[in-house]
Amino acid sequence: MADHVVQCGACRVDVQVVREGDGFAARCPACARTAPRDEAIRVARSSLIDVVMRDLDENLREIVRASPIVGYQPAQRYDWVLKGVGG
């Protein structure tokens, strides 16, 4: 993830990482949406996987969906995405 920047899915603005309680949160500077940092990263990864899966056949898609290692969590709308990916 070090090579990718997480963005707000609605605003497409790079998020800021801020201290929240005992941990860190991702925060959109435009709309102020926040989420735990790890959750934002996990959702952004799932949005990237959705983009990649568009080019896979159905058998490979099922393997990705079933793999706990991948951590794919499909959504109708992604609140957090990777900069420059998808659309």
14 pLDDT band, cuts 50/70/90, is very high
Question: On the CB side of 58, how many CA atoms lie within 13 Å of its CA?
Answer: 0
Going by C-beta distance under 8 Å and a sequence separation of 6 or more, which residues neighbour residue 87? none
pTM of the shown model: 0.80
Instruction: Determine which helix (DSSP H) or strand (DSSP E) holds 52, and give its type and residue range.
Output: helix 37-53
Rounded to an integer, the average pLDDT of 30-44 is 93
Q: Which two tokens stand for residue 8?
A: 């707000």
Q: Distance (Å, rounded) from C-alpha 40 to C-alpha 25?
A: 8
Q: Which two tokens stand for residue 42?
A: 């996990």
